[in-house]
């Protein structure tokens, strides 16, 4: 990517999109699971959702199911959700607390400690040479970043979690991410390939026609731009008090809620610029992004369910004081951003359906879609 001047972000050279078959073909989908989803850090949940001995979450990543458990010392462990006996699934629930402080196979009752070590088998007589120490659960790499829990199927070969965030991500050091509590969770199955939702996230050409409420809240989005530098004439229009040119919230609005007003206490350590802008993003491909506002934080997770199906999960995280305040209307934040997510899901599904046209081998990117180009090049690199 090149620039016309120090402000302009846009693509200047013609670039084709990824081939249409990358969004439809089953064999290619399996290739992406191996090269991308099984070789990168995948978001599970906020750590406050796995509190106390035996608390767990399970997450499906393609054909793999992973179990994340907290032991009696407060340490998180992650395993393939598979018994070492004959391969049965160990835990069928999405979340909860393990009874008896152990992981017990529902099929033949093999019992594992919370750190994955095999403790007991029900057989009265074991074969010669059988040693329980040889059959711990299959371990998966697990890591935490500011209270957000990730797993990586690459295990010991996993790259450092801190290095997996997109270089353009915001610095959220002024947000108390680890102490936040989940106020609401929303899940939706979308009839689209996982890449389509990411591509939609990475441009705002669609915003004027798809997000009327959001465009009122963030005036620059109404112009089809994400950043001031998307406009080739930015240097001629830049004025500090004009959010339609400089980004940030509309006059009188502070956050992404139905009326633009905070639903509870503001995060106290934010800078004046962080408050003025009102929205900041952290990206960890391929599974999640975080949107940080002045009063709450939203995490968005994608998981592939097939070539043309994706699970969308949204978590709204608030300070404990906000959730304990009977006058705090967190529903205002939930309704506003859930509407935005549903609008994005709707156009992503339209995009998916259109890709089946026999004549459509690939599309073309416009200048404002420089972040789509960056994402698609990231996919190409991972696929080799």
Query: Would you state the pLDDT for residue 240?
Result: 65
Query: Would you state the pLDDT for residue 382?
Result: 97
- Classify residue 179 as left (phi > 0), alpha (psi -120 to 50) or beta: alpha
Q: Look at the domain 1-39+166-384 and name its fold.
A: Naphthalene 1,2-dioxygenase Alpha Subunit; Chain A, domain 1 (3.90.380)
Give the C-alpha separation, 305 to 307, whole Å: 7
Query: Would you state the pLDDT for residue 8?
Result: 84
Give the C-alpha separation, 156 to 317, whole Å: 31
Give domain limits for the chain. Answer: 1-39+166-384, 42-158
Pairing mode, if any, of strands 139-145 and 76-80?
antiparallel
Crossing angle for the helix pair 194-201 and 330-354, to the nearest 10 degrees = 120
Pairing mode, if any, of strands 64-70 and 103-104?
unpaired
**Token pair of 368, please?**
């404002």
Give the C-alpha separation, 88 to 95, whole Å: 18
Confidence (pTM): 0.95
| φ/ψ (deg, to 5) at 365 | -100, 140
- CATH number 2.102.10.10 given to 42-158: yes
DSSP states of 299-345 as a string? EEEEEEEETTEEEEEEEEEE-HHHHH-TT--HHHHHHHHHHHHHHHH
* Spatial CB neighbours of 273, under 8 Å, sequence gap ≥ 6: none
Q: Per-residue pLDDT for the chain (384 aa), expressed as one digit of tens each?
A: 333 344 689 998 999 999 999 999 999 999 999 999 999 999 999 999 999 999 999 999 999 999 999 999 999 999 999 999 999 999 999 999 998 999 999 999 999 999 999 999 999 889 999 999 999 999 999 999 999 999 999 988 999 999 999 999 999 999 999 999 999 999 999 999 999 999 999 999 999 999 999 999 999 999 999 998 898 887 776 666 789 988 999 999 999 999 999 999 999 999 999 999 999 999 999 999 999 999 999 999 999 999 999 999 999 999 999 999 999 999 999 999 999 999 999 999 999 999 999 999 999 999 999 999 999 999 999 999
Are residues 304 and 34 in contact, defined by beta-carbon separation less than 8 angstroms? no
Query: Would you state the pLDDT for residue 241?
Result: 74
Query: Would you state the pLDDT for residue 4?
Result: 35
């Amino acid at each position: 990517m090149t620039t016309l001047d120090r402000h302009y972000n846009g693509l200047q050279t013609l670039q084709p999109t990824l081939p249409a078959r990358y969004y439809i073909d089953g064999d290619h989908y399996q290739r992406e699971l191996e090269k991308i989803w099984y070789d990168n850090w995948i978001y599970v949940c906020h750590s406050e959702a796995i509190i106390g001995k035996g608390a767990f979450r399970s997450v499906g990543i393609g054909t793999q199911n992973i179990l994340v458990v907290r032991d009696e010392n407060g340490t998180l462990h992650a395993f393939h959700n598979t018994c070492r006996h004959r391969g049965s699934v160990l835990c069928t629930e999405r979340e909860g607390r393990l009874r008896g402080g152990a992981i017990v196979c529902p099929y033949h009752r093999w019992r594992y400690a919370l750190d994955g070590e095999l403790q007991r088998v029900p057989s009265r007589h074991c074969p010669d040479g059988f040693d329980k120490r040889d059959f711990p659960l299959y371990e998966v790499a697990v890591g935490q970043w500011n209270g957000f829990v990730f797993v990586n199927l690459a295990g010991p070969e996993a790259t450092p979690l801190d290095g997996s965030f997109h270089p353009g991500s915001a610095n959220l050091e002024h947000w108390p991410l680890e102490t936040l509590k989940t106020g609401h969770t929303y899940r939706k199955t979308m009839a689209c390939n996982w890449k389509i939702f990411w591509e939609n996230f990475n441009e705002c050409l669609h915003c004027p026609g798809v997000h009327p409420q959001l465009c009122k809240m963030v005036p620059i989005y109404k112009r089809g731009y994400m950043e001031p530098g998307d406009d080739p004439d930015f240097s001629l229009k830049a004025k500090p008090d004009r959010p339609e040119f400089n980004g940030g919230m509309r006059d009188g609005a502070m956050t992404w809620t139905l009326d633009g007003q905070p639903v509870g206490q503001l995060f106290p350590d934010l800078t004046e610029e962080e408050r003025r802008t009102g929205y900041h993003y952290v990206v960890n491909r391929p599974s999640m992004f975080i949107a940080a506002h002045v009063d709450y934080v939203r995490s968005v997770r994608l998981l592939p369910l097939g070539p043309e199906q994706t699970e969308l999960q949204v978590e709204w995280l608030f300070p404990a004081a906000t959730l304990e305040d009977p006058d705090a209307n967190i529903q205002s934040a939930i309704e506003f951003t859930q509407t935005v997510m549903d609008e994005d899901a709707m156009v992503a599904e339209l995009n998916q359906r259109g890709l089946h046209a026999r004549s459509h081998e690939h599309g073309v990117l416009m200048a404002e879609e420089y972040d789509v180009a960056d994402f698609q090049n990231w996919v190409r690199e991972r696929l080799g």
